[in-house]
Structure 1
Amino acid sequence: MSQDAPTVMISSQRMVPMLGRLEDQGWRVVHAWDLSDADRQAVRACIGAGDDVMKPEFLATLPNLTLVACVSAGYDGVDVDWCRARGIEVTHAKGVNADDVADHAVGLMIAGWRNIALGDRNVRAGLWREGTGARPSLKGRKVGVVGLGHIGAAITERCTAFGMEVNWWGPRPKPEAKWPRAGSLLALAEWCDILMVASAANAENRHMIDKAVIEAVGPRGMIINVGRGSLIDEDALIAALKDKRLGRAGLDVFEEEPTPAERWADVPGTVLTPHMGGGTVESLPAMVAQAIENVRRHFAGEPPLSPV
């Protein structure tokens, strides 16, 4: 490897499997958890998962950093405004795993709404149909989608195909959207039977699914979250499920990951998966490839493929 090879830093142990592909580009790769003073001076780009917390205090120790490339659709671990103010580009995996996450969201919906997960547990426990009485059909139900990005749009397409009525809400209007936008998040929650949370996370929307929104969905409703755990006030969600102020929930993301098993041991009406919605054998390599292409373009002085 040439001594002039650009230095790329990986932000966490999760990125270690990428080492070979990064080195194949002719880049020198260093680890965020094991940097020498010389490494800090040399780092020009950082690659990491979007939920890897990259604090400004740490990034400020990398004087020649000019790119943070996230290998995920989300980038909530990065202070984008801080980076932009210092000329640091931020990119993410745009649209690569949207269909897979949307499939997973619909899977959580069906498994929870129709008692499929509970039915599976009952059969294995010899309980047969205990607690799995007739449920309302999904056809004709009202679905509220929070966030109409690539994932939210893919969810709406799937729910529409199921014969469900879809509205959405996000902080910015989208005149090109085919579905009606609610006047507010609370209005969407009051209208819908099932609230699908697919928004990107940032400091401003932490806990936007709060007690009021949860209770607006109500005891006959369901909340699905495939966005980020920080979007929901998890304590309020758990309390509402236990008190039957919320009917059901399907979660693929949590405020703390891995989420403690004991936290959910006595919470009824839930289907839980371990942040696996976007991780398919097709999407994971594509996300890595997009991040690598963003770094390559950056070093070549070309526009990024998927800027935030």
Structure 2
Amino acid sequence: MAKSKIAVTIPVSDTCLSRLSQSYDVITLPAGLGSGSPEIDFSGVWAVLTNGSTGMSDGEMARLPDLKLVSAYGAGYENVDVEAARRRGIHVTHAPNTNTETVADHALALMLAISRDICRRDRRLREGAWGAIRSARPTLSGATLGIIGLGNIGQSVAKRGEAFGMRVAYTTRNPVTDVDWQHVLDPIVLASMSDFLVIACPGGPSTRHLVDRRMLAALGPGGFLVNVSRGMVVDTAALVEALRESRIAGAGLDVFEGEPELPAGLADLDNAVLTPHMAGRSPAAENAQINVFLHNLAAHRNGGILKAQLA
């Protein structure tokens, strides 16, 4: 019997493709639905794997007349048109909590890398420097960690910060129940309190350029910014200017506006540590994400219960 057709519209590992191909006929389009040959036959494609950044628009759904399921590979789904899917009778799922711990680990790695100046000093040491790169650098213990957004990832970052001896505060619209960390309603006030400001909120129109010139000014010349959320949350031009003029101490960035192109100016800055939107990628996280997608594929085909259903 012929395998049913699904489309993967994001870059995934060979392991993921191998597991999917055991049960399904997989069309791979790692640069998005519109990136393949115009001769690709999309008839019979009933499920799509995407992510929050790539998303799935109403127009793209219209190109797939047999589409029944859209699944986001991670927690984010900001560019999936959930309302359009609902109107079309298409189910939408995502995969929260599959890479939470991995993202939180990466956030701490960025905090340590930028505050301790690890990357630059590694390069300088290999070039022969020694005494000039042994100056004291800030550390996490005793510092204040401010977190924008206290969902699963934000809470995991907070727990790690607390384990490092940091004071933790956070900003959300409403206080989160069952946590003891200080809630600060105004993000600007939170930035002014923080030595490290970690962005862990969802992307989307409501958070676009939430971190702007005012917030960077509030963070100040001793403060470090870390973003493991979405690039759109930060006004990149304002950030580059603040870093270049030392109006903040540094930034650790895993996400960028205009990915995969690196925004102009960032590559030349020694006070920025950059990684290619990989905070959520680890073998454990990938295995969990694949398991959720495979479950939802089987559940949809067999009339079962979908995990993390949005529509």
TM-score, length-normalised on structure 2?
A: 0.88
Q: Bigger CA drift: 149-158 or 5-14?
A: 5-14
2:5 maps to 7
1:22 maps to 20
**What SS does structure 2 have at the residue aligned with 1:130?**
helix
Q: Bigger CA drift: 239-248 or 175-184?
A: 175-184
1:39 maps to 42
| Separation of aligned partners in 2, 1:294 and 1:15 | 19
Q: Bigger CA drift: 42-51 or 31-40?
A: 31-40
Aligned with residue 176 of structure 2, among 165, 174, 177: 174
2:125 maps to 123
**Is the alpha carbon distance of 1:23 and 1:137 closer, same or farther for their aligned partners in structure 2, counting shifts above 3 Å?**
closer
1:297 equivalent to 2:294? Answer no
TM-score, length-normalised on structure 1?
A: 0.89
Q: Bigger CA drift: 244-253 or 254-263?
A: 254-263
Unmatched runs of 5 consecutive residues or more in structure 1? none
**Is the alpha carbon distance of 1:288 and 1:164 closer, same or farther for their aligned partners in structure 2, counting shifts above 3 Å?**
same
1:273 equivalent to 2:275? Answer yes
1:279: how far off? 1.4
**What SS does structure 1 have at the residue aligned with 2:256?**
coil
**What SS does structure 2 have at the residue aligned with 1:250?**
strand
2:259 maps to 257
**What SS does structure 2 have at the residue aligned with 1:176?**
coil
| Separation of aligned partners in 2, 1:260 and 1:182 | 32
**What SS does structure 2 have at the residue aligned with 1:39?**
coil
**What SS does structure 2 have at the residue aligned with 1:265?**
helix
1:256: how far off? 2.6
RMSD value over aligned CA atoms?
2.4
| Separation of aligned partners in 1, 2:284 and 2:40 | 38
**Is the alpha carbon distance of 1:141 and 1:83 closer, same or farther for their aligned partners in structure 2, counting shifts above 3 Å?**
same
Q: Bigger CA drift: 30-39 or 151-160?
A: 30-39
* Aligned positions, number: 304
Structure 2 counterparts to residues 157-306 of structure 1, below 5 A: 157-260=159-262, 263-306=265-308
Alignment identity in percent? 36
1:148: how far off? 1.4
Unmatched runs of 5 consecutive residues or more in structure 2? none
Q: Which amino acid aligns with 1:222?
A: F
Contact 2:257 2:263 in 1 (8 A): no
Contact 1:118 1:132 in 2 (8 A): no
| Separation of aligned partners in 2, 1:173 and 1:295 | 36
1:174: how far off? 2.2
Q: Which amino acid aligns with 1:11?
A: T
1:38: how far off? 6.3
1:111 equivalent to 2:113? Answer yes
1:203: how far off? 2.5
| Separation of aligned partners in 2, 1:101 and 1:109 | 12
| Separation of aligned partners in 1, 2:249 and 2:151 | 27
**Is the alpha carbon distance of 1:58 and 1:140 closer, same or farther for their aligned partners in structure 2, counting shifts above 3 Å?**
same
